[in-house]
Amino acid sequence: MTDLKEVFSETNDLYCRIDRILKLSTYDEYDDLSGLEINDKDSEQLFLLKELQSIMESLNEVRGRLAYLALPVKEVSRLHKNSDGRYETKSGHCYTSGCRVEALISDGFQEAPYWVRTSIEHDGKDYYLVGYRQTELEGLKVRLRGRA
């Protein structure tokens, strides 16, 4: 039986293939497929172009997620509210509206706490985790990925 680590290991090859396709398609250069030669009077090519554009957008999102997962965890810390009313880690990394965060969630659905990738927002009174509004930010275990 295949395990999670084996499947994750295969995503490195997938990342490389997606990266190659996005470069070949000119998506990386133009954010669309406008760099490709097509006959704009050929209805079949126009259909294919539209479908491939949608596929390239999805592949670009997948590539971004795979690149994110490949980043090492730089810090694991607990959030505390600073004097400015913002939540920060021990190293001083501050989270404000729109910031992405990985948080360790306990919700009763899983037997063990688990990491989720979400974002921080503000409701006019305080900050909260998108999708986990009832989770208290003070003391919440978070982790930060990135290059050292």
Same domain, yes or no: 47 and 66: yes
Same domain, yes or no: 57 and 89: no
Output 123 or 110, whichever has higher pLDDT: 123
Same domain, yes or no: 11 and 66: yes
Q: Quick one: tokens of 69?
A: 């997962």
Across 40-51, average pLDDT: 97
What residues make up the domain containing 131? 73-145
End position of a domain, from candidates 70, 95, 116: 70
State yes or no: pLDDT of 148 exceeds 80.
no
Same domain, yes or no: 54 and 77: no
Residue 110 is predicted with a pLDDT of 87
**Continuous segment of H or E residues that includes residue 122:** strand 114-122
Query: What is the residue-averaged pLDDT of the chain?
Result: 95
Helix axes 4-24, 43-70, angle to 10 degrees: 130
End position of a domain, from candidates 70, 93, 112: 70
pLDDT digits (tens, 9 = 90+) for 46-71: 999 999 999 999 999 999 999 999 99
Kindly report the backbone phi and psi dihedral angles of residue 135, in degrees, each rounded to the nearest multiple of 5, phi listed first. -75, 125
Same domain, yes or no: 63 and 92: no
Lowest mean pLDDT segment, chosen from 5-9, 123-127, 136-140: 5-9
Share of the chain above pLDDT 70, in %: 99
Same domain, yes or no: 137 and 85: yes
pLDDT digits (tens, 9 = 90+) for 89-122: 999 999 999 999 999 999 888 889 999 999 999 9
Residue 120's SS3 state is: strand
Band of pLDDT at residue 2, cut at 50, 70 and 90: confident
